[in-house]
Amino acid sequence: GQQLNQSPQSMFIQEGEDVSMNCTSSSIFNTWLWYKQDPGEGPVLLIALYKAGELTSNGRLTAQFGITRKDSFLNISASIPSDVGIYFCAGQPSSLNYGGATNKLIFGTGTLLAVQP
Protein backbone atom coordinates (compact mmCIF):
# COMPACT_ATOMS: atom_id res chain seq x y z
CA GLY A 1 0.00 0.00 0.00
CA GLN A 2 0.93 3.67 -0.04
CA GLN A 3 3.41 4.82 2.55
CA LEU A 4 4.74 8.04 3.94
CA ASN A 5 8.44 8.44 4.60
CA GLN A 6 8.89 10.39 7.82
CA SER A 7 12.26 11.60 9.02
CA PRO A 8 14.11 11.66 11.23
CA GLN A 9 13.03 8.59 13.18
CA SER A 10 14.21 10.17 16.41
CA MET A 11 15.75 13.38 17.71
CA PHE A 12 17.51 14.11 20.98
CA ILE A 13 17.89 17.83 21.57
CA GLN A 14 18.53 20.40 24.27
CA GLU A 15 15.78 22.61 25.58
CA GLY A 16 15.59 25.81 23.55
CA GLU A 17 16.71 24.28 20.27
CA ASP A 18 14.60 24.37 17.13
CA VAL A 19 13.34 21.13 15.59
CA SER A 20 12.46 20.21 12.03
CA MET A 21 10.90 17.02 10.71
CA ASN A 22 9.35 16.11 7.38
CA CYS A 23 7.26 13.64 5.46
CA THR A 24 7.49 12.70 1.82
CA SER A 25 5.38 10.58 -0.48
CA SER A 26 5.59 9.25 -4.00
CA SER A 27 1.92 10.20 -4.48
CA ILE A 28 0.06 13.47 -4.49
CA PHE A 29 -1.88 14.29 -1.33
CA ASN A 30 -4.93 16.51 -0.84
CA THR A 31 -4.43 17.05 2.88
CA TRP A 32 -1.51 16.94 5.29
CA LEU A 33 -1.98 16.61 9.03
CA TRP A 34 0.44 16.64 11.93
CA TYR A 35 -0.32 14.83 15.19
CA LYS A 36 1.49 14.45 18.51
CA GLN A 37 1.19 11.39 20.71
CA ASP A 38 2.09 11.30 24.40
CA PRO A 39 2.74 7.96 26.16
CA GLY A 40 -0.45 6.04 26.89
CA GLU A 41 -2.63 8.42 24.90
CA GLY A 42 -4.00 8.76 21.41
CA PRO A 43 -2.63 11.11 18.76
CA VAL A 44 -3.74 14.71 19.10
CA LEU A 45 -4.11 16.95 16.07
CA LEU A 46 -1.59 19.81 15.94
CA ILE A 47 -1.98 21.33 12.49
CA ALA A 48 -4.08 20.64 9.38
CA LEU A 49 -3.02 21.78 5.89
CA TYR A 50 -5.32 21.80 2.88
CA LYS A 51 -3.63 23.69 0.04
CA ALA A 52 -0.29 23.36 -1.72
CA GLY A 53 2.11 25.97 -0.39
CA GLU A 54 0.02 26.61 2.72
CA LEU A 55 2.03 27.64 5.79
CA THR A 56 0.22 27.39 9.12
CA SER A 57 1.33 28.09 12.68
CA ASN A 58 0.05 26.91 16.04
CA GLY A 59 2.04 28.64 18.77
CA ARG A 60 5.66 27.54 18.44
CA LEU A 61 4.74 25.01 15.75
CA THR A 62 4.79 25.78 12.03
CA ALA A 63 3.89 23.37 9.24
CA GLN A 64 3.89 23.67 5.47
CA PHE A 65 2.13 21.81 2.66
CA GLY A 66 4.76 21.30 -0.05
CA ILE A 67 4.09 22.89 -3.44
CA THR A 68 4.55 19.55 -5.19
CA ARG A 69 1.80 18.14 -2.87
CA LYS A 70 4.13 15.24 -2.11
CA ASP A 71 5.68 16.52 1.10
CA SER A 72 5.17 18.46 4.30
CA PHE A 73 7.35 19.65 7.14
CA LEU A 74 6.84 20.55 10.78
CA ASN A 75 9.06 22.97 12.70
CA ILE A 76 9.07 23.47 16.45
CA SER A 77 10.83 26.57 17.69
CA ALA A 78 12.47 27.00 21.10
CA SER A 79 11.68 23.48 22.29
CA ILE A 80 10.58 22.85 25.87
CA PRO A 81 10.44 19.60 27.90
CA SER A 82 6.70 19.12 27.30
CA ASP A 83 7.37 18.86 23.56
CA VAL A 84 8.58 15.33 24.22
CA GLY A 85 6.53 12.73 22.39
CA ILE A 86 6.04 11.07 19.03
CA TYR A 87 5.05 13.26 16.10
CA PHE A 88 3.15 11.74 13.20
CA CYS A 89 2.42 13.09 9.80
CA ALA A 90 -0.68 11.90 7.99
CA GLY A 91 -2.00 12.56 4.54
CA GLN A 92 -5.07 12.05 2.45
CA PRO A 93 -4.02 10.74 -0.97
CA SER A 94 -5.76 12.07 -4.03
CA SER A 95 -5.95 8.60 -5.59
CA LEU A 96 -9.39 7.14 -6.14
CA ASN A 97 -9.23 4.52 -3.38
CA TYR A 98 -8.53 6.94 -0.57
CA GLY A 99 -9.86 10.10 0.91
CA GLY A 100 -12.78 11.66 -0.81
CA ALA A 101 -15.99 10.89 1.02
CA THR A 102 -14.41 8.87 3.82
CA ASN A 103 -11.43 11.02 4.91
CA LYS A 104 -9.13 7.99 5.08
CA LEU A 105 -5.52 8.76 5.93
CA ILE A 106 -2.06 7.32 5.46
CA PHE A 107 0.30 7.77 8.44
CA GLY A 108 4.04 8.16 8.67
CA THR A 109 5.98 5.97 11.11
CA GLY A 110 6.59 8.81 13.51
CA THR A 111 9.44 10.94 14.87
CA LEU A 112 10.37 10.42 18.51
CA LEU A 113 11.40 13.71 20.09
CA ALA A 114 13.35 13.82 23.34
CA VAL A 115 14.15 17.18 24.94
CA GLN A 116 16.77 17.47 27.63
CA PRO A 117 16.24 20.31 30.10
Partner 1 sequence: DAGITQSPRHKVTETGTPVTLRCHQTENHRYMYWYRQDPGHGLRLIHYSYGVKDTDKGEVSDGYSVSRSKTEDFLLTLESATSSQTSVYFCAISTPGNQPQHFGDGTRLSIL
Confirm or reject binding of residue 104 to partner 1 (CB under 8 A): yes
List all residues 6 or more positions away from 86 whose beta carbon is below 8 Å from its beta carbon: 36, 37, 110, 111, 112, 113
Confirm or reject binding of residue 44 to partner 1 (CB under 8 A): yes
Among 50, 55, 67, 95, indicate the residue that binds partner 1 (CB under 8 A).
Answer: 50
Among 12, 14, 59, 101, indicate the residue that binds partner 1 (CB under 8 A).
Answer: 101
Residues 36 and 21 sit within 8 Å (Cβ to Cβ): no
**Min separation Cβ 63 and partner 1, Å:** 13
Confirm or reject binding of residue 40 to partner 1 (CB under 8 A): yes
Strands (E), 25-76: 29-37, 44-49, 55-58, 61-65, 71-76
Residues 88 and 34 sit within 8 Å (Cβ to Cβ): yes
Confirm or reject binding of residue 14 to partner 1 (CB under 8 A): no
Rounded to a whole number of angstroms, the CA Rg of the chain reads: 14
Among 22, 25, 64, 92, indicate the residue that binds partner 1 (CB under 8 A).
Answer: 92
Positions that interact with partner 1 (CB under 8 A): 1, 4, 6, 30-31, 33, 35, 40-45, 48, 50, 88, 90, 92, 99, 101-105, 107-110
